[in-house]
Amino acid sequence: VRPRIVTLLSDFGTADAYAGLMKGVVLSICPEARVVDLSHEVPPQNVTAGALLLRSTVRFFPPGTIHVAVVDPGVGGERKPILVQAGGATFVGPDNGLLHPAASERGINRIVALTKGEYHLPRVSRTFHGRDIFAPVAGHLARGVAAEDFGPVLSEMKTLPLATASRDANGVVGEVVHVDRFGNRPFRA
């Protein structure tokens, strides 16, 4: 069995240890997991920016990769923690639209609510589900726990309204959602 890759995407930055300790949680449960940072520099609580970054990246990882994404302004509220299986990848994070563009592009196979407490840390806070729910679920997935074991299957997940572009007589009309450090606009409408 080849080691499972677990990617991490968040708006945590790297000045705090939030990203680092999520790796500790994953590796405590599955020491063989390969943890890879996508980015922790998503603008704080910007779900759309995180969703686009995730969507643009997933296709370059091998089948079986587990993608944990945490941009979660509604943590502790009513939004559900979920996992989504889509086209060979598994996404883990909040059901706030963050996972939808990446998952729907690959074809959603199964959505599961993360309700089973035995796969979470013993004490779940109201402010850090990345550490307390998403990282341990990723660790258990990496160990081979089946998606259905984490909770009930859901029939739908939250979508994310993304800017669209149109062409008129004067050119292209859309919304700039991201400019990279070289001045490129890879997601330009």
Residues of the shown chain interacting with a copy of itself in the complex, contacts defined by CB under 8 A: 2-3, 5, 7, 9, 12-25, 27-28, 31-32, 34-41, 44-45, 53, 56-57, 60-62, 65, 127, 131, 180-182, 184
Q: Quick one: which of 3, 7, 63 has its CA closest to 35?
A: 7
> Least distance from C-beta 90 to a copy of itself, angstroms?
15
> 62 or 152, CB closer to a copy of itself?
62
> 167 or 181, CB closer to a copy of itself?
181
> Least distance from C-beta 2 to a copy of itself, angstroms?
5
Antiparallel, parallel or unpaired: β 66-70 and 5-10: parallel
121, with CB counted inside 10 A (0-12, 13-18, 19+), is middle
The dihedral over CA atoms of 30, 3, 42, 130, expressed in degrees to the nearest 10, equals -20
> 60 or 78, CB closer to a copy of itself?
60
> Least distance from C-beta 85 to a copy of itself, angstroms?
18
Query: Quick check: 58 and 67 in contact, CB under 8 A?
Result: yes
> Least distance from C-beta 32 to a copy of itself, angstroms?
8
> 55 or 100, CB closer to a copy of itself?
55
